[in-house]
Amino acid sequence: MKQKLLIVNRGEIAIRIIRSAHKLEMSALVFQSDKEPDALYLQYADEIIPAKDGGNDKSIFLDIPRIIQLALEHKVNLIHPGYGFLSENPEFAALCAENGINFIGPSAALIKEMGLKTVAKSMAVKAGLPLVPGSDGPVTNAKAAREFAEKIGFPIILKASAGGGGRGMRIVENPESIERNFKSASDEALAAFGNGDMFIEKYLQNPKHIEFQILGDKHGNVIHLGERECSLQRKHQKIIEEAPSASLTTEKRNEMGDMAIRFAKSIGYFSVGTIEFIMNEDGSYYFMEMNTRIQVEHPVTEMITGVDLIDWQIRVALDQHLTLRQDDIKINGWAIECRVNTEDPQNRFSPQTGFIDKIHFPQNSYTRIETGVVSGSVVTPYFDSMIAKIIVHGKDRGDAIEKTLAALYEFSLIGLKTTVPFCRIVLQHPEFVNAKYTTRWVDQVFTPEMLENEDDEMIGALAATIMYASEYLQLSSDLPTYKHDSLNVWVLNKRLNY
């Protein structure tokens, strides 16, 4: 009897997990949400569990009691949560365990600890990981703030300890302005939250996001699979990721990788996980958080290491021993992932919904496509805007950039706007090419005008003119003085010749 693996997710990641399930000779089950009853991933599954929305409008992918109930009814052995949704929900992981279902991920306790940022940070400190320098507790007056800021160095950021949403927050560049800024931020916080206490933290002006992939089993073995750089973000969400990072030397990679392993071992971690660091221009780095799920950008790591992370994630969930040793992990070439989101980069990345009339992906040996859609699919407003990922492998960074760019030019989607034109611009920008880009690139450098170019503009003018002309000439043809012939003679000739 085949093991039954239920995927509590949708889109490209559901299809990706089904692939691994089949490789491991398991039967893959998915939910059919009535928010997208014709979704592509359903076609790949061995069994579809219809999950109509009840009276409440809660998506099945977040409805813990129903998931557990349906999983039990269908005699599911394992649950893979994918990313997002319930992938880092400790209650869900715990309930799976209580009901005898193998949750593919770390333990509920680990998910909970890593989900609480202060707990995760204190555990990281215990394992010797550096944190962004900051005040341990609230600073209550301007003088103390100045003294502390001078100790850690400017610029610093003042944050309201009760705060959120940017209120009571100030970036301070120099000692002269700290007392004034402290007072105004503190007053603001007092007015907004009834508490004027402030935290002080070192402010990284141009940080990079570097994360380490780790993989551990339930028997104490942990390895790392190198880093990914995910500095290219919009609205704090990643859009292009690469592996390895041009910002790390081999020594630093080993140092940070060892640190990641040490941390994972110190907390008894197993399954796949990601340890995120923020890196300053001077190369200093600090622990940010740990993600306890498979990540969207895992394919770049797979491309350069040849390790199938989801296979291993499932295998270690089955108590298997990790047979890979750190020495087995070799970094081969360079990989870049571009996320295809149905968003309008000309209009502050606002989401686009509707039909995908036609979608075409590049096909070649060095490009991997992960997609949740095909021509004719519908993008609904209910789920994430990411519909696909284009991952390209090159022999080095330059080669990878060149090949990715070619792949992006080959990609086309008719019907909706996507982030692909944006990615094309990024890949050609000197700051990306020289690997100097930071998490602030979109805010500081990008303008929608960068998406335009003269060739496209001219061809657009031609297309607009042909569309207009076919109407105009048709109208004119009603007048007896115009000899009407179809405009399409040129069109036909060119097509025949083609």
Partner 1 sequence: MGTSYIYKRDASRLFIALRENGKRYKIYLPMESAPVINGTEQDINFVEQDDFYYAFDWKDKRFHCELVSHDQNKAVIKVNGVEYKYSLESIFSYIRRGMINNDENKIDANNILAPMPGKIVDIFLSDGDLVNEGEPILTLEAMKMQNEITATCNGVIRKIRIQKGQSVMKDELLVEIQSIDV
Whether the CB-CB separation of 107 and 118 falls below 8 Å is answered with no
State in angstroms the smallest separation of the CB of 423 from partner 1.
10
Determine the 3-state secondary structure of 39 from DSSP: coil
Considering beta carbons, is residue 56 or 481 the nearer one to partner 1?
A: 481
DSSP state of 340: E
Which 3 state secondary structure label does DSSP give 307? coil
- For 191-219, the three-class secondary structure string (H helix, E strand, C coil) is HHHCCCCEEEEECCCCCEEEEEEEEECCC
How far apart are alpha carbons 371 and 16 in whole angstroms? 9
- Does residue 244 have a cis peptide bond before it, meaning omega lies within 30 degrees of 0? yes
State yes or no: residue 234 binds partner 1 (CB under 8 A): no
CB nearer to partner 1: give 323 or 490. 490
Q: Are 132 and 204 in contact (CB under 8 A)?
A: yes
Binding mask 335-354 for partner 1 (x = CB under 8 A): -----------x--------
Nearer to partner 1, 176 or 452 (CB): 452
Q: Does 418 participate in binding partner 1 (rule CB under 8 A)? A: yes
β-bridge mates for residue 223, sequence order: 215
Q: Does 176 bind partner 1 (CB under 8 A)?
A: no
460 binds partner 1 (CB under 8 A): yes
The nearer residue to partner 1, 324 or 451, going by C-beta atoms, is 451
Q: How many whole angstroms separate alpha carbon 189 and alpha carbon 192? A: 5
Instruction: Verify binding: residue 447, partner 1, rule CB under 8 A.
Output: no
Count CB-CB contacts under 10 A for residue 72: 12
464 makes contact with partner 1 (CB under 8 A): yes
Minimum Å gap between C-beta 388 and partner 1 is 14
Instruction: State the catalytic residues.
Output: 293
Nearest distance in Å: CB 459, partner 1: 4
Burial classification of residue 261, based on how many CB atoms lie within 10 Å of its CB (0-12 exposed, 13-18 middle, 19 or more buried): buried
Q: How far is the CB of 424 from partner 1 (least distance, A)?
A: 8
Task: State which of residues 258, 409, 443, 444 lies at the interface with partner 1 (CB under 8 A).
Answer: 409
DSSP state for residue 396 in the 8-state scheme: S
* Site membership for partner 1, residue 452 (CB under 8 A): yes
Identity of the amino acid at 411 = F
- Binding of partner 1 at residue 478 (CB under 8 A)? no
Q: Under the criterion CB under 8 A, does residue 428 sit at the interface with partner 1? A: no
Residues that bind partner 1 (CB under 8 A): 346, 357, 409-410, 412-415, 417-418, 420-421, 451-452, 455-469, 472-473, 476, 482, 485, 487, 489-491, 493-495, 497-498
